[in-house]
Amino acid sequence: MDPAITGDTNMETILVLAHTEADGSLAKPALEAIAASRNITGTLIVGLIGADTQKAANQIAGCGAAKFLTVTGPEFSQPRYATDAAAAEAIAKAAAATIIIVPHTSRWGRVAAGVAARLSGRADTHVTGISATGITRWYYRQRMEAQMTRTQRPWLIAIDPGCTVPLECAAGTATTTPVAVTVSSRTQVTGIKAPEARQQTIRPDAKLLFVAGAGWTKKQADGATHVPEAAEIILGFLNASKSSLGSSKSLVDISGEGQAVLPFMSHLNQIGQTGSTPRHAKGLSTCCHGEEPHTVGWRFVNERRAISLDPNCGWARGKADVLYVADAFAVMRKVTALLAAK
Amino acid sequence: MSLTYQIVVCGSLVPDPLQTLEPVTTTAGPALKNETMLPAVLDPWAGHALFEAAYLAKNNPGSKVYFVSLAPKAKLQQVMMTVAQKAGFELIAIDGPASGFTEAADVANALADTIKTIPGLDMSKLLVFGGWESASRGAGATMQLVGEKLGITDQFQGVDQITVAADGSFEILERVEGGKHQASKCAGAPAVLGWATGNLPEPPNNPQIGMANMRTIMPALQKAKPAKIAAEGVTFASVALPKQQRQTKIVKDMSADDIAKEIIAWIQQ
Ligand SMILES: Cc1cc2nc3c(=O)[nH]c(=O)nc-3n(C[C@H](O)[C@H](O)[C@H](O)COP(=O)(O)OP(=O)(O)OC[C@H]3O[C@@H](n4cnc5c(N)ncnc54)[C@H](O)[C@@H]3O)c2cc1C
């Protein structure tokens, strides 16, 4: 057997680290990370970081942790490198952890490797599975999947949200052990900038990912472009279906070059090689050619359908389950009308 | 008071994303089939970091951009032919593999050790830029490790914007979940910024900038020291292409009404 994540003869000390939310609770990615830790044999310790950590410890009192170590204080409510790294480092040292599991949220993604370095360990990030014999992760932007393990300890594993069924356990009253950390930072988090609610088109929890490609802005059968109409159809469908909006690079690049083609689109919507790789149960692509640098971003979209005028587009070559060779303007207008009528 | 920066951009090469990639096993671990033959491009997010660095330097006269790259020397030379025309910088090359299967820690050590040798390096002016994730390893680890090695704890990842104030402080926008940005204010350099796409379009090729850069690029490539980059302690049990190849059903000649009904039924399943 691999030296892997070891069995009974060499029990690991597994530390799961999590931040508390603004209301003091633990969010789903944290509960998933605790659930993932159960695939490894060892002693579980939970480390909690936040302005106040007792509510979170109580929420997971029955998770089987031998200890709850906490770093608490207003300075630890801010997602920023200096304070998050110092808190994680202190808890990991107090726990003498050999395996550290964190959810790969933007907050943990910012510090995961740095924390491992401070502990003279190693980190693996964007992990999609943890088992008794190692981890699963992808290389070259979701093009190839590796099963791997490593001998270095501590080993910090950042697991991507959505890869594990979240922990369900009894709440209770947990006894916590505070860990003292003194740290200051030259950085202050000043807030979150989000598009106005009407234009908030990225919805990570949506069942459906709706992707718009550059075809929406191209000349159509009548020889003219119909961009305002495209915008209206896309927003109409998003509002009716509550799906999340993705885009091809070509479309957001046009929007980004001062042409404000579709004002509700930005690079944050971009799916693919230099965009995101979201997780949704279903995906519907429209007016997009389905080239490889785009479709690598669909790796974790389970069921895929596409509407394109081109029967030979990338989607036709094993990338979509169904390709409708049709005019997306006509089809999506109809889809939205039917949804609205329901 | 005018602000000047030393902006060090870390970036490497990746296979052109339009290429088909296939893993193979070698005695040294996993690699890409025909890796040396695959056409390479500048790692896209590192490219955005470079363009943002050049823009920041232009707006703060007296600033200088260094591009520190660990990559196979011969390939780096090829890629530099186009990259050098897009932004002014001084290349510092390190000769080594650009494979995604190597350890971020080894790469970061080589980069940080090289950055420390830059003559006149001034931490109070230093901004270390790079891509927040590579298109090879895709771990988002290297820049953090470089920062740790240089003792920089003001670090930002998924950066789309930096706005410098007159007092040298700056506001940074970092990507967070749900299509939002986290805004932070940092007192000033030194800082590490792992860039996402940023706000600038790719600059057009400018042969004049290319000529100026080339004067330093060729000597830098000749001087490139080899770095030992490996994956010690790591065992790959397998590296494989995804099995999922779909049997695409191609639907032609169906009316828009019927397609719409089918799509609704599918969405609502
Ligand atoms: C380094 C690098 C990184 C990249 N990263 C990404 C990335 O992250 N994401 C990404 O998306 N791309 C990326 N690309 C670009 C990618 O290769 C493609 O160029 C891009 O995805 C094409 O976008 P598109 O399909 O929207 O546009 P097009 O190729 O222009 O395709 C438009 C499609 O719309 C169809 N169409 C037009 N009108 C209609 C209509 N009325 N109804 C139905 N269909 C219609 C056309 O038939 C056509 O198939 C990258 C490329 C490189 C080199």
Would you kindly state where each structural domain of chain B is located, as residue ranges?
Answer: 6-226
**Chain A residue closest to B266 (CA)?**
A282
From the CA atom positions of chain A, what is the Rg in Å? 23
Kindly determine whether residue B249 and residue A303, on different chains, have CB atoms separated by under 8 Å. Answer: no
b/e string for A75-98 if b means 16 or more Cβ within 10 A? bbbbbbbbbbbbbbbbbbebbebb
- The residue ranges of chain B whose pLDDT is under 70 are 1
- CB of B252 within 8 A of CB of A311? yes
Domain boundaries, chain A: 3-178, 197-340
* Separation CA B26–CA B29 (nearest Å): 5
Of B246, B247, B260, the CB nearest to A334: B260
A239 contacts: CB under 8 Å, gap ≥ 6: none
pLDDT at position A258 is 54
pLDDT at position A8 is 45
| Best CATH choice for the domain A197-340 from the list 1.10.340.70, 3.20.20.80, 3.40.50.1220, 1.20.1250.20 | 3.40.50.1220
**Chain A residue closest to B155 (CA)?**
A81
* CA–centroid distance for A180 within its chain: 31
Of B104, B157, B233, the CB nearest to A152: B233
Q: Which CATH superfamily is domain A3-178 in?
A: HUPs (3.40.50.620)
- ipTM exceeds 0.85: yes
Topology match between the domains A3-178 and A197-340: yes
β-strands B29-32, A244-247: how paired? unpaired
**Chain B residue closest to A257 (CA)?**
B201
Helix (H, G, I), strand (E, B) or coil at A287: coil
CA distances for A290 relative to A98, A306, A308, A315, angstroms: 43, 9, 9, 5
* DSSP secondary structure of A1-17: --SSS--GGG-EEEEEE
Instruction: Give the pair of three-digit tokens for residue A162.
Output: 């959505």
As beta bridge partners, residue A100 has: A15, A156
pLDDT at position B93 is 98
- The answer to whether the CB of A314 is under 6 A from ligand 1 is no
Of A124, A269, A327, the CB nearest to B256: A327
Alpha-helical regions (H) of chain A: 28-37, 54-59, 81-95, 106-118, 227-241, 249-254, 292-295, 328-341
- The answer to whether the CB of A288 is under 6 A from ligand 1 is yes
pLDDT at position A198 is 64
**Atom of ligand 1 lying closest to residue A292 CA:** 17
CA distances for A29 relative to A193, A268, B213, angstroms: 22, 21, 46
* Burial label, A64 (beta-carbon count in 10 A; 0-12, 13-18, 19+): middle
Residue in A1, A75, A80, A81 to test binding to B, most B beta-carbons within 10 Å: A81
Question: In A, which residues are within 8 Å of B142 by CB distance?
Answer: 113
Q: Which of A17, A5, A181 is nearest to A92 (CA)?
A: A17
* Separation CA B86–CA B93 (nearest Å): 18
A101 contacts: CB under 8 Å, gap ≥ 6: A14, A15, A16, A17, A33, A36, A37, A130, A156, A157, A158, A159
Of B157, B173, B264, the CB nearest to A335: B264
Helix (H, G, I), strand (E, B) or coil at B215: helix
pLDDT at position B98 is 97
pLDDT at position B113 is 98
* Separation CA B105–CA B13 (nearest Å): 17
Kindly determine whether residue A319 and residue B248, on different chains, have CB atoms separated by under 8 Å. Answer: yes
* Separation CA A57–CA A46 (nearest Å): 9
* Separation CA B61–CA A9 (nearest Å): 62
* Separation CA B129–CA B48 (nearest Å): 10
* Burial label, A129 (beta-carbon count in 10 A; 0-12, 13-18, 19+): middle
Cβ under 8 Å to A: B residues 174-193:
174-188
Residue in B103, B127, B169, B184 to test binding to A, most A beta-carbons within 10 Å: B184
Question: In B, which residues are within 8 Å of A148 by CB distance?
Answer: 234-237
pLDDT at position A259 is 57
Question: In A, which residues are within 8 Å of B140 by CB distance?
Answer: 109, 112-113, 125-126
How do residues B172-224 score in pLDDT, each as one tens digit?
A: 999 999 999 999 999 999 999 999 999 998 999 999 999 999 999 999 999 99
Instruction: Give the pair of three-digit tokens for residue B209.
Output: 């900038």
Ligand 1 pocket test: pick from A211, A226, A288 the residue with the most ligand atoms within 8 Å of its Cβ: A288
β-strands A12-19, A99-103: how paired? parallel
Tell me whether A61 touches chain B (CB under 8 Å): no
Tell me whether B25 touches chain A (CB under 8 Å): no
Closest-CA residue, ligand 1 atom 45, reads A287
Q: How far is A69 from chain B (nearest CA, A)?
A: 23
Tens of pLDDT along chain A (342 residues) come to 344 554 444 689 999 999 999 999 999 999 999 999 999 999 999 999 999 999 999 999 999 999 999 999 999 999 999 999 999 999 999 999 999 999 999 999 999 999 999 999 999 999 999 999 999 999 999 999 999 999 999 999 999 999 999 999 999 999 999 999 999 999 999 999 987 766 789 999 999 999 999 999 999 999 999 999 999 999 999 999 999 999 999 999 887 665 557 888 899 999 999 999 999 999 999 999 999 999 999 999 999 999 999 999 999 999 999 999 999 999 999 999 999 998
Plot region of A94 (φ>0 → left; ψ -120 to 50 → alpha; else → beta): alpha
Of B45, B104, B256, the CB nearest to A326: B256
How do residues A67-113 score in pLDDT, each as one tens digit?
A: 999 999 999 999 999 999 999 999 999 999 999 999 999 999 999 99
DSSP annotation of A121: -
Kindly determine whether residue B250 and residue A123, on different chains, have CB atoms separated by under 8 Å. Answer: no
Q: How far is B219 from chain A (nearest CA, A)?
A: 31
Plot region of B29 (φ>0 → left; ψ -120 to 50 → alpha; else → beta): left
pLDDT at position A261 is 79
Instruction: Give the pair of three-digit tokens for residue A191.
Output: 């807030």
β-strands B234-240, A144-150: how paired? antiparallel
pLDDT at position A218 is 94
Helix (H, G, I), strand (E, B) or coil at A131: strand
pLDDT at position B110 is 98
* Separation CA A211–CA A206 (nearest Å): 13
A142 contacts: CB under 8 Å, gap ≥ 6: A277, A296, A297, A299, A300
Helix (H, G, I), strand (E, B) or coil at B262: helix
β-strands B13-15, B40-42: how paired? antiparallel
The pair phi, psi for residue A77, each rounded to 5°, is -85, -20
Plot region of A313 (φ>0 → left; ψ -120 to 50 → alpha; else → beta): beta
Looking at domain B6-226, does it have CATH number 3.40.50.620?
yes
Kindly determine whether residue A323 and residue B248, on different chains, have CB atoms separated by under 8 Å. Answer: yes
How do residues A264-279 score in pLDDT, each as one tens digit?
A: 889 999 999 999 999 9
* Burial label, A180 (beta-carbon count in 10 A; 0-12, 13-18, 19+): exposed
* Separation CA B35–CA A88 (nearest Å): 38
Give B238-245 contacts, CB < 8 A, sequence gap 24+.
Answer: B238/A146, B238/A147, B239/A139, B239/A144, B239/A145, B239/A146, B239/A147, B239/B23, B239/B25, B239/B30, B239/B101, B240/A144, B240/A145, B240/A146, B240/B23, B241/A143, B241/A144, B241/A145, B241/B22, B241/B23, B242/A144, B242/A145, B242/A299, B245/A318
